[in-house]
């Protein structure tokens, strides 16, 4: 047992003897002397790098300290996280460059489209630790920061004179601190390398994610979170030529650097990046790793398809993104299939790659300028030759969702214009002043194409992540491709503050449509304030300020004289709710309809206030649970109780009327607890299940609804032989990495309330297939006969998904199961299908099929 600790103990002894020993391990031979007035990380922190995981606040303090004692570094706060940790960046350059930093930035940006910045210092960006439990890179950031401020070598001085080096030392502060606390709390002395040790096995949800359990390395394209939006804003302030993204991978791996899998490059990005620049940089990376004796691999894995990675976003703006994946010690030292892997070793590799990136970037400055010039020329050529001249979009009935999409476009620096004239296109009507136009002939055409196009051509059928990411479909907005000359209005630089009309006092009723994205926020605020809120199961038309107005399925009614609060209190509550939710609420003076049902109809039913809980913990998909937590917290201001599976057995389910189960294996739910959930449903509870949560419910006999087997169980007499070396690609091609499909939605059903079109885009990235219900009213949403909108779909999966059920509501006793085969809240970006989940949450108790007399 003793020998497993020897390499780590050697490193401990090496680092604690003196700072020169640590420098000898981490820094290259050509480092030159170090400025003694600059504190080393070891001196500042009080421990040697690699012997302890450094908290985010200490990382921030060290960068601040360097900015105080060195004229090579400026420090800046760009925002804060949900847990109020500072997001910081450091800017390294020479003292003379610092005196004219804004001048350099403007000159750099002025030459973007032409690449004419040869006389301007080269701007690059180093980014670390987007996944909180991949911590070695932030420690490497400390070493890099020290090296750039303290090194007196001629090479370092040349870098600082001729470059501006931007650094984000910790992209995910909340996740990092979660993991840092775990690793330090469980560190042994002597350290334990056994992979079974608690130090190496975080409890759920782990440190990978941010506060809401989201993967921030998928968020560059979506911009769901403030951490990302702050970072994107800083990116566009500088628009660097190079951006790095430092990660960790499995403990038994080595080290990965680009180029990646050639067949998985994004074809809309000009291939100079992939065919010329990546191979050039690889020579520098290989040389640096060879010198320290570290093993590595390239070209086998990791794609550049998705625009939302830290290493790919820059590629869509004429830059070069580089991914580094280091084998992880997941703690301070861990056994591998060869020798124990120390935290210090993982840090050294990331530091080595940081320095190699700086060295390569200045040496290849001409290539980087060529890349950017070629990129924007290719983008302009593609836009000019495109049959599509502009995209027209917007939903007048859902201003919240439309504005969210516009803000996303503006975040990516895409030009958006008002639509000044009502236009009919693609059999849709786009109203003037309520819809928008994006011309394709603009600098950032490549990003426009990525946002609006349904799919791209593939040369591979295996994907590291999604195979399509069309955001116009995720927002579910009506849009049209304009292929002839068009008229655009004023350019939108920032949307004006949104206002809704003041509510007029009524002594009879208030009503609003369910079409706006914020409608459920309004319902919750009204119920929280004590109002009784009802929903309409049939459309109606009533006079509003003397004019007839149509209200569709699911429209919301608040009767004045059927309340437990006074009419004065109700008016104040309705007025405040309208302003806070930005939902237009109308005042009525009569129940007598011009057309359709009257407000006193039995088809106007009271909405039971939601008392929701969600199961979380070991075995549950943290990202899907986080999506729901984030949706309710941030967009509705509504709480949901998060029940850990380990405590479920002693929870009184009767306290809740709604229970949510996202994807998971739920092996921690024993039979007695499962029986309790089943009885709770039978007694009137609403169980909402998503993906494998749905599979669990069906397999546990909660409902008689059926699954379609994900794999073909039919046996063949003889299977054709296939070479072993293509097994991974062959089998991987059968998975569903993420594609967009069309379903037919019953908009008369409470789950479909508020939708104005039966054809709805959904995102599918798993193989839960629901058979349509034998009850003709229960299949709320069903895949069409030819459902694929965009992305890759294996022929075997195509057979299963077409005409399968997307949503089923199964009545069980006095309760019901609302089962989704897909995730309607995917990555916080699927505004177009959030309403399906929210309808299930708010209207679940109203979904039982009425019994016929």
Least reliable range by pLDDT among 686-690, 707-711, 807-811: 707-711
Residue 659 has pLDDT above 90, yes or no: yes
When pLDDT is cut at 50, 70 and 90, the band that residue 458 belongs to is low
Confidence band (pLDDT; 50, 70, 90) for 465? low
What is the CA angle 658-659-661, rounded to 5? 145
Containing 481, the helix (H) or strand (E) segment is: strand 479-482
Give dist(CA 393, CA 57) in Å, integer: 44
Report pLDDT for 385: 96
The whole-number pLDDT of residue 29 equals 67
The confidence band for 219, taking pLDDT boundaries of 50, 70 and 90, is: very high
What pLDDT score was predicted for residue 692? Answer: 98
Full-model pTM: 0.95
Q: Mean pLDDT across the chain, nearest whole number? A: 93
Of 676 and 466, more confident: 676
Q: What are the distances in angstroms from CA 418 to CA 393, 403, 473, 478, 488?
A: 10, 12, 20, 16, 6
595-630 core/surface letters (b: 16 or more CB in 10 A; e: else): ebbebeeeebbebbebebbbbbbebbbbbbbbbbbb
Least-confidence region, from 276-290, 478-492, 705-719:
705-719
Q: Which secondary-structure segment (H or E) carries 723? A: none
Per-residue model confidence as pLDDT tens digits over 125-171 = 999 999 999 999 999 999 999 999 999 999 999 999 999 999 999 99
pLDDT tens string 577-615: 999 999 999 999 999 999 999 999 999 999 999 999 999
- Predicted pLDDT at 404: 98
pLDDT for position 30: 61
Where residue 267 falls among pLDDT bands split at 50, 70, 90? Answer: confident
For residue 393, the cross-strand partners are 436, 479
**Nearest residue to 357 (alpha-carbon basis) of 241, 250, 254:** 241
In tens, the pLDDT along 9-55 reads: 344 333 443 444 777 899 876 667 999 999 999 999 999 999 999 99
**What pLDDT sits at residue 2?**
33
- First-to-last C-alpha distance (Å) of the chain: 76
**Contact indicator for 660, 682 with CB cutoff of 8 Å:** no
Q: Cis omega (within 30 of 0) on the bond before 205? A: yes
Residue 249 has pLDDT above 60, yes or no: yes
The total number of residues shown for the chain amounts to 853
Residue 415 has pLDDT above 90, yes or no: yes
Q: What pLDDT is attached to residue 738?
A: 86
Report the pLDDT averaged over residues 481-497.
95
Q: Which residues pair with 124 in a beta bridge?
A: 165, 242
> How far is 122 from 125, CA to CA, in rounded Å?
10
Any residues with CB less than 8 A from the CB of 92 and at least 6 apart, and which?
Answer: 72, 73, 145, 148, 149, 160, 164, 165, 166, 167
Q: In this model, does residue 393 exceed pLDDT 70?
A: yes
On the question of pLDDT at 8 being above 70, the answer is no
795 pLDDT more than 80: yes
Rounded to an integer, the average pLDDT of 670-677 is 97
């Amino acid at each position: 047992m003793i020998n497993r600790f020897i390499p780590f103990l050697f490193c401990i002894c090496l680092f604690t003897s003196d700072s020169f020993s640590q420098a000898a391990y981490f820094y290259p031979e050509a480092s030159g002397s170090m400025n003694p007035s600059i504190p080393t990380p070891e001196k500042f922190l009080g421990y040697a790098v690699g012997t302890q995981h450094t908290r985010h606040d200490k990382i921030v303090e060290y960068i601040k300290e360097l900015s105080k004692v060195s004229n090579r570094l400026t420090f800046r706060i760009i925002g804060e996280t949900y847990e109020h940790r500072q997001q910081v960046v450091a800017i390294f350059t020479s003292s003379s460059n610092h005196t004219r930093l804004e001048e350099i930035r403007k000159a750099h940006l002025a030459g973007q489209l032409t690449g004419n910045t040869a006389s301007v210092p080269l701007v690059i960006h180093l980014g670390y630790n987007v996944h909180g439990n991949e911590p070695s890179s932030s420690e490497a950031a400390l070493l890099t920061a020290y090296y750039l401020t303290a090194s007196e070598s001629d090479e370092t001085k040349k870098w600082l004179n001729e470059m501006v080096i931007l650094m984000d030392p910790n992209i995910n502060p909340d996740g990092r601190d979660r993991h840092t606390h775990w690793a330090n709390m469980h560190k042994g002395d002597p350290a334990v390398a056994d992979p079974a040790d608690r130090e190496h096995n975080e409890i759920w949800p782990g440190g990978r994610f941010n506060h809401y359990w989201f993967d921030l390395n998928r968020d560059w394209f979506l911009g769901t979170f403030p951490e990302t939006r702050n970072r994107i804003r800083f990116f566009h302030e500088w628009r660097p030529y190079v951006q790095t993204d430092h990660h960790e991978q499995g403990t038994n791996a080595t080290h990965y650097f680009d180029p990646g899998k050639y067949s998985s490059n994004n074809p809309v990005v000009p291939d100079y990046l992939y065919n010329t620049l990546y191979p050039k940089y690889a020579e520098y990376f290989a040389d640096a790793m060879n010198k320290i004796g570290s093993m590595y691999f390239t070209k086998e894995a990791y794609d550049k398809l998705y625009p939302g990675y830290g290493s790919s976003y820059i590629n869509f703006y004429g830059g070069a993104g580089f991914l580094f994946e280091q084998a992880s010690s997941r703690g301070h030292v861990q056994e591998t299939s060869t020798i124990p892997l120390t935290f210090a070793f993982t840090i050294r590799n990331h530091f080595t790659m940081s320095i190699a990136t700086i060295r390569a970037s200045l040496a290849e400055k001409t290539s980087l300028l060529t890349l950017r010039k070629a990129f924007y020329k290719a983008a302009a050529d593609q836009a000019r030759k495109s049959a599509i001249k502009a995209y027209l979009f917007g939903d007048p009935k859902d201003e919240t969702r439309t504005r969210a999409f516009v803000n996303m476009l503006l975040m990516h620096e895409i030009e958006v214009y008002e639509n000044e004239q009502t236009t009919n296109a693609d059999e849709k009507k786009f109203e003037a002043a309520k819809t928008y136009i994006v011309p394709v002939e603009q600098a950032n055409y490549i990003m426009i194409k990525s946002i609006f196009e349904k799919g791209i051509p593939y040369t591979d059928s295996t994907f590291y992540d999604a195979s399509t990411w069309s955001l116009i479909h995720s927002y579910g907005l009506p849009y049209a491709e304009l292929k002839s000359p068009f008229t655009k209005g004023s350019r939108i630089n920032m949307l004006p503050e949104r206002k809704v009309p003041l509510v007029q006092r009524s002594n009879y009723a208030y009503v609003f449509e369910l079409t706006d994205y914020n409608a459920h926020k309004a319902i919750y605020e009204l119920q929280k304030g004590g109002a009784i809120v009802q929903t309409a199961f049939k459309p109606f038309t009533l006079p509003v300020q003397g004019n007839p107005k149509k209200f569709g399925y699911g429209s919301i009614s608040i009767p004045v004289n059927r309340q437990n609060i006074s009419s004065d209190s109700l008016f104040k509550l309705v007025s405040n709710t309208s302003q806070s939710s930005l939902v237009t609420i109308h005042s009525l003076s009569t129940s007598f309809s011009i057309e359709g049902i009257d407000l006193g109809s039995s088809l106007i039913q009271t909405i039971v206030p939601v008392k929701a809980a969600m199961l979380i913990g070991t075995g549950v998909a943290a990202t899907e649970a986080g999506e729901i937590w984030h949706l309710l917290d941030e967009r509705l201001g509504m709480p949901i109780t998060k029940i850990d599976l380990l405590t479920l057995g002693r929870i009184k389910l009767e306290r809740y009327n709604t229970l949510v189960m996202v994807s998971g294996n739920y092996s921690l739910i024993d039979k007695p607890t499962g029986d309790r959930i089943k009885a709770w449903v039978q007694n009137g509870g609403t169980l909402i299940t998503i993906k494998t949560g749905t599979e669990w419910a069906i397999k546990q006999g909660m409902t008689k609804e059926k699954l379609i087997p994900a794999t073909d169980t039919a046996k063949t007499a003889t299977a054709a032989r296939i070479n072993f070396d293509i097994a991974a690609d062959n089998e991987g091609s059968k998975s569903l990495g993420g594609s967009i499909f069309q379903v037919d939605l019953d908009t008369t059903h409470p789950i479909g309330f508020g939708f104005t079109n039966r054809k709805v885009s959904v995102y599918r990235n798993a193989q839960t297939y629901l058979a349509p219900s034998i009850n003709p009213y229960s299949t709320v949403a069903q895949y069409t006969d030819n459902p694929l909108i965009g992305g890759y779909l294996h022929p075997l999966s195509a057979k299963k998904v077409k005409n399968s059920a997307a949503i089923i509501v199964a009545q069980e006793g006095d309760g019901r199961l609302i089962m989704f085969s897909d995730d309607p809240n995917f990555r916080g970006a699927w505004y177009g299908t959030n309403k399906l989940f929210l309808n299930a949450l708010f209207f679940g108790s109203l979904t039982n099929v009425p019994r016929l007399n």
